């Protein structure tokens, strides 16, 4: 195991600072007016605090291990078409509810070949159609061994903002933070055929800490 590399963020994600500051300010102001009513606003502030928590993580150093890019629950493990890498692939999807950590981390070491944003709808992210119909941002990586791995941030029913901080030509390390989705969503991972899944539908996973699959030994 090793510490997550390139982690330049504190334990509370910077994306949440304005929301947290605003909710605490409102709660304090309401407290001067009514302690009873302020309880409701302090509960909101606590919810915002937990939603934007962003702890550092450690992950496997196994060379072929694919790490979970998000916290949540596995909702898909299947062979299907990767529309972004234009190939058949093993697809593993992680659904995040509002109580999960929502920062996204790279599943593998690799060079970013492309990123692409797609506007779309806001269906429940647990539904299969969300992968192709919801607002989303796709990132295609090539590992040092030549494997293609696609990670897709997908907006959910109440998620209204997908943030991706990387672009073509950048290099990411496994577990490196590269994006964030606000308020409920999912991440789809497409892996080369021959990859071996190490999770099943219904499993709970943690970003970086959980190994989703093993890449095939050969890229041929």
Question: What is the CATH classification number for the domain harbouring 98?
Answer: 2.70.70.10
In a domain, residue 43? The reply is: no
Q: In Å, how far are 22, 114, 142, 191 from 168, measured between CA atoms?
A: 35, 5, 11, 19
pLDDT in tens, 64-82: 999 999 999 999 999 999 9
- How far apart CA 113 and CA 133 sit, in angstroms, is 23
Model confidence at 159, pLDDT cuts 50, 70, 90, reads: low
Check 185, 206, 209, 218 and give the catalytic one.
185
User: Is 185 among the catalytic positions?
Assistant: yes
In a domain, 56, yes or no: no
Instruction: Specify the pTM.
Output: 0.83
Indicate the burial class of 207 (C-beta count within 10 angstroms; 0-12, 13-18, 19 or more).
buried
At residue 97, does pLDDT exceed 80?
A: yes
For residue 191, the surrounding DSSP H or E stretch is strand 185-192
Q: Is 152 helix (H, G, I), strand (E, B) or coil?
A: strand
Count of CA atoms in the C-beta half-sphere (13 A) of 124: 5
Mean of pLDDT over the chain: 85
Task: Report the half-sphere exposure of 85 (CA within 13 A, side-chain side).
Answer: 26
Residue 96 lies in a domain: yes
pLDDT at 126: 63
Q: Is the pLDDT of residue 160 over 80?
A: no
What is the domain count for the chain?
1
Q: What is the pLDDT of residues 185-211, one digit of tens each?
A: 889 999 999 999 999 999 999 988 999
pLDDT at site 133: 73
For residue 193, is it within any domain?
yes
Does residue 136 surpass a pLDDT of 80? yes
**199 within a domain of the structure (yes/no):** yes
What are the counts of helices (DSSP H) followed by strands (DSSP E) for the chain? Answer: 3, 16
What domain range is 197 assigned to? 62-208
């Amino acid at each position: 195991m090793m510490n997550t590399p390139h982690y330049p963020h504190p334990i509370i994600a910077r994306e949440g600072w304005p929301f947290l500051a605003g909710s605490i300010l409102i709660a304090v102001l309401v407290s001067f007016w009514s302690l009873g009513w302020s309880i409701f606003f302090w509960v909101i502030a606590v919810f915002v605090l937990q939603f934007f928590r962003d702890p550092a993580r450690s992950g496997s150093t196994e060379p072929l291990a694919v790490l979970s890019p998000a916290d949540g629950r596995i909702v898909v493990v299947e062979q299907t078409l990767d529309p972004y890498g234009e190939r058949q692939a093993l697809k593993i999807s992680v659904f995040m509810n509002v109580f999960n950590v929502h920062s996204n981390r790279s599943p593998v070491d690799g060079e970013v070949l492309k990123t692409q944003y797609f506007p779309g709808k806001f269906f429940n992210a647990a539904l299969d159609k969300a992968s192709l119909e919801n607002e989303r941002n796709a990132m295609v990586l090539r590992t040092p061994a030549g494997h293609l791995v696609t990670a897709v941030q997908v907006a959910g029913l109440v998620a209204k903002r997908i943030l991706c901080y990387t672009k073509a030509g950048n290099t990411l390390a496994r577990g490196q933070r590269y994006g964030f989705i606000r308020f409920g969503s999912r991440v789809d991972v497409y892996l080369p055929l021959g990859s071996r899944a190490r999770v099943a539908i219904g499993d709970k996973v943690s970003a970086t800490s959980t190994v989703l699959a093993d890449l095939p030994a050969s890229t041929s």
